[in-house]
Chains A and B, each alone.
Chain A
Amino acid sequence: MCRIGAIKSKKYLHPSKALYLMRSQQKGHDNSGFAMVMQDLGGMFTDYKDLPVLSMACTDEGMNLADNILSAEGFTRVMQWNPETNYSENLIIETMPQYVFLVLQYPKTYKHATQEEKEDLLVSTRLKIRKALEKEEKGFIYSFWPDVLTLKEIGDPKDIGLYFGLWEENNYFTAKIITAQCRQNTNYDIVRYAAHPFFLQGYTALVNGENTFFEKNKLFQKSLYKGYLGFESDSQCFLYTLHYLSKILKWPLSYYKHTITPLPYEEIVRREDKDILLKIKESLAHLEINGPNTIIGVLPDGTVFTCCDSKKLRPVVVGGTDETVVITSEVNGINEIIPERNWDEDIYPHERETVIINNDLKVEKWQQ
């Protein structure tokens, strides 16, 4: 079982918080990697909130390929940050030659483009770069989106933290939302793309569990949108369904739970909204997720939420203060970084619940 965590705060936090959150929960394979998505960036990225940030790990050749594609599309560099790395032979880490975080300006031709056109360009460009890098493993492109930064690496999280200098708190590399996991996908070949969190167009998801309907989810999602690809992990399906419902169908978040874990027929027919729920159950039957799961999701507006499978087979806990709220697999993670909170207010969501944290850190509980 992999542990997952999300921190949402009113103030900018350094990713060391995520390392401390996850380290205390580590067991078994939980030390096989570290991956995080930072959203609502602070520090050196504060002035570039509207510009897309490219997060990539690659070879020198991979960097050239990406540069050529970005230039051809008309993107221009605004700012580049290459984290300072501290190599030591004792570190357990499988490094890539370059870690690139590039802030780019949209092509001039997109000056009057709609938001939708810009968003589509970002996905298309990311997919082009991804395809180019795939040959001979020249690199991995994790996200290309405004105000979002992604880092994924293989190795011991402690050593990954040391390598990137992430243990030392500072105020130039921060964000208000950080989602993280300390594990690679150990079921199959270790592939960087398979590490949670997954990100697409402002939506982030990370999951602890097993998607037994992976096959049918995958076959269905493949035909829905060009960005639904990869499928290196069965958990990517959770992200794609979240994106499909929210971004493409434009349904309220409350229907996410109804889609991935629909209520049994007998219960639906007793409800007032039975017509809607039955249509969802029928129409999106291939997006149902059956199996033990805990999901943490982030929406483009900064809302963070969590829900579980229909039998509540995996743990999750929500706890926090007025300033910071944490969702994570096990409570000792929260104890580590917010010991001063009121522990009685911790929430252990049940199988029908979706717990939502909005930008005021107001916690809501929705019942399915």
Chain B
Amino acid sequence: MATVRVNELSRDDLSWQIEYDTHRCTFCGKCVASCPFGSIEASVEKRRKVTSQGLTPTPHVKFETMPIIRQVVNISNYCRGCGICEKVCPNEAIKPVRNPDNKFAMKIRGYTGNSHTRGGRSNLNSEDRALDKIIVGRISQMTDPSLDAQRHTFDMLAPLGRILPPEQLPFSVKDGKIELSEKTPPVRWVYPVIIGDMSIGALSCRMWEALSIATAYLNEQAGIPVRMCSGEGGMPLRLLKSEYLKYFILQIASGHFGWNRIVAAMPEMQEDPAGVLIKIGQGAKPGDGGLLQAKKVARHIQEIRGVPKADLLSPPNHQGLYSIEESVQKMFLSFNAAFKFRVPVAIKVSASATSVSVYNNLLRDPYNIVGGFFLDGVFGGTGAAHEISLDHTGHPIVSKLRDCYNAAVHQGKQGQIPLWAGGGFGMTGNLAADAIKMICLGANGIFTGKLMLQLAGCVGNDNGKCNACNTGLCPVGICTQNPVLTRRLDVDKVAQNVVNYFLSLDSEVKKILAPIGNSSLPVGRSDALVSTDKAIADKLGIQYGC
């Protein structure tokens, strides 16, 4: 009798099981070759077949040895359910199947003794989205006419930069004309959707390149002034010195990676960047630092960031900052000064129960140097994080953004520090709807990251599929520096998808603006929204409808 190994990791424990049909398999080997995780292997299997051909049972036992594809069952090579095997199989002979009875979350912790890490975003309650219970319900009927989305013109830009209240504008009147007597803080008018900060390092260089090509194309050819944030770690020197720098927001995070190269490139910059974004935290892993493992620090990353091949740690906080005063004085002043006060400097924080306090403080900033408040919610994505952070820390973005807007209204300072929100927008595929709803709640604009990856072919979802960004083995070449895997990504095709998405987004935004009779962005027009959930309506201060 065989020993029953109840304490061994078994196929039944795994979240994903490989379903394999030996009759359809041609043993071409594509699935094994393409699985980046080594979760399947070619193997052989002994088969015992008993046949009988006579009138009375005359059993003949036949042993066969069959080549097969077998799932690897161990704590490193477990199947992530990415489905690349299914994609490459010419005969539909293999696919991962979700195992609803799995015990993987317990087993992996029991086996490794480590905090479990993964990529993607929160997998808890990700389908229960507040935005899906809000509709744009104030449709113009009779009292004022709807506009025509095709015929009318729309002014759909959002400010990035510190906006002075009217009484502080250095205006003087001469001969019936207003004149500007002093320099004012820089403000850029940009598309209300920013491609959010994903670094070269978190992304493959090909993926980052595709996004930057799409950004440049949208600006130069499509007339849609989309800005893209570099993510921490800098940008290729050639891009820093190019005329396209104006489409990019440079990020500085707690590791300050890449900034020595950026500073060194300043004398040769043809254009100013669109902005500087100081990243304090991100919604997917609030209060947690970042780690780019040495194995992902490829040669080009060493060059861009100016570092050796080593683990690159971004601490959970900026080591030099102790308080909000220092944040404003030290970081904002120094980065404003770096570009001689010509470039708006904004800050990105994780949405938190304390966000309103932070925003209140920034709004009272006496130097007028805070050019934007980027708030990142719990459904933000990440390249790598501890699962406990992803699933159990953070703050929903919708109500927090609303709270911040209301705080600004309470101070009479709405609009002075533009509010930009991110974290899970476009999860259902429709970014335009999410964007307009957030704008009506008080956002000036939104930023998006994960959706861009999905447009590029990311196979993951928010229900445990793939989520392997942390492994450096992204099966579609998005979040990896592995040269073989990155070749899977078609740079031009990705750029095209992103451009096309923005074109459709642009027309869909108009399709919402037109029926509510607006030709410019309805920032704070919460009376245009109706929630089908009473609790959400009450929390956000919008109408309830049923």
Chain A interface (Cβ < 8 Å from any Cβ of B): 187, 209-210, 212-216, 219-220, 222-224, 248-252, 254-255, 262, 264-265, 273, 275-276, 278-279, 282-286, 288, 290-292, 310-311, 313
Do A212 and B159 touch across chains, with their CB atoms under 8 A apart?
A: no
Decide if the interface of chain B is mainly helix, strand, loop or mixed: loop
Q: State whether the Cβ of B153 lies closer than 8 Å to any Cβ in chain A.
A: yes
Contacts of B157 in A (CB 8 A): 265
Distance in angstroms from A253 CB to nearest chain B CB is 9
Contacts of B180 in A (CB 8 A): 275-276, 279
Do A290 and B522 touch across chains, with their CB atoms under 8 A apart?
A: yes
Residue of B nearest to A210 (CB): B144
Q: State whether the Cβ of B526 lies closer than 8 Å to any Cβ in chain A.
A: yes
Q: List 14 A-B contacts (CB under 8 A).
A: A210-B140, A214-B527, A216-B523, A219-B414, A248-B167, A252-B178, A265-B155, A265-B157, A282-B415, A283-B166, A286-B414, A290-B520, A291-B517, A292-B145
Q: State whether the Cβ of B100 lies closer than 8 Å to any Cβ in chain A.
A: no
Q: State whether the Cβ of B68 lies closer than 8 Å to any Cβ in chain A.
A: no
Do B144 and A212 touch across chains, with their CB atoms under 8 A apart?
A: yes
Q: State whether the Cβ of B84 lies closer than 8 Å to any Cβ in chain A.
A: no
Contacts of B163 in A (CB 8 A): 282-283, 285
Contacts of B153 in A (CB 8 A): 264
Q: State whether the Cβ of B54 lies closer than 8 Å to any Cβ in chain A.
A: no
Do A273 and B415 touch across chains, with their CB atoms under 8 A apart?
A: no
How many inter-chain residue pairs (CB < 8 Å) link A and B? 114
Do B147 and A212 touch across chains, with their CB atoms under 8 A apart?
A: no
Known: A285-B523, A310-B519. 4 other contacts (CB 8 A): A212-B525, A273-B178, A292-B517, A313-B145
Contacts of A210 in B (CB 8 A): 140, 143-144, 517
Do A311 and B152 touch across chains, with their CB atoms under 8 A apart?
A: yes
Distance in angstroms from B271 CB to nearest chain A CB is 16
Are A215 and B178 also in contact (CB < 8 A) when A278-B187, A279-B169, A286-B414 are?
Answer: no
Q: How far is the CA of A222 from the CA of B413 in the complex (A)?
A: 12
Are A215 and B527 also in contact (CB < 8 A) when A249-B166, A254-B176 are?
Answer: yes
Chain B interface (Cβ < 8 Å from any Cβ of A): 140, 143-145, 147, 152-153, 155, 157, 159, 161, 163-167, 169, 171, 173, 176-180, 184, 187, 189, 409, 411-412, 414-415, 516-520, 522-528
Contacts of B189 in A (CB 8 A): 265, 278
Distance in angstroms from A89 CB to nearest chain B CB is 34
Contacts of A219 in B (CB 8 A): 409, 414, 524
Do A212 and B517 touch across chains, with their CB atoms under 8 A apart?
A: yes
Residue of A nearest to B164 (CB): A283
Do B164 and A279 touch across chains, with their CB atoms under 8 A apart?
A: yes
Contacts of B144 in A (CB 8 A): 209-210, 212, 291-292, 313
Do B147 and A251 touch across chains, with their CB atoms under 8 A apart?
A: no
Distance in angstroms from A232 CB to nearest chain B CB is 16
Distance in angstroms from A344 CB to nearest chain B CB is 30
Distance in angstroms from A322 CB to nearest chain B CB is 25
Contact partner, B522, options A213, A249, A292, Cβ 8 Å: A213
Contact partner, B173, options A223, A251, A265, Cβ 8 Å: A251
Contact partner, A223, options B164, B412, B528, Cβ 8 Å: B412
Are A283 and B169 also in contact (CB < 8 A) when A212-B140, A212-B517, A216-B525 are?
Answer: yes
Are A215 and B173 also in contact (CB < 8 A) when A209-B144, A276-B178 are?
Answer: no
Residue of A nearest to B520 (CB): A290
Contacts of A288 in B (CB 8 A): 520
Contacts of B167 in A (CB 8 A): 248-249
Q: How far is the CA of A276 from the CA of B178 in the complex (A)?
A: 7
Q: How far is the CA of A250 from the CA of B167 in the complex (A)?
A: 10
Q: How far is the CA of A220 from the CA of B412 in the complex (A)?
A: 6
Q: How far is the CA of A292 from the CA of B518 in the complex (A)?
A: 10
Do A224 and B412 touch across chains, with their CB atoms under 8 A apart?
A: yes
Q: How far is the CA of A236 from the CA of B490 in the complex (A)?
A: 56
Contacts of B523 in A (CB 8 A): 216, 285-286
Contact partner, B178, options A224, A255, A290, A310, Cβ 8 Å: A255
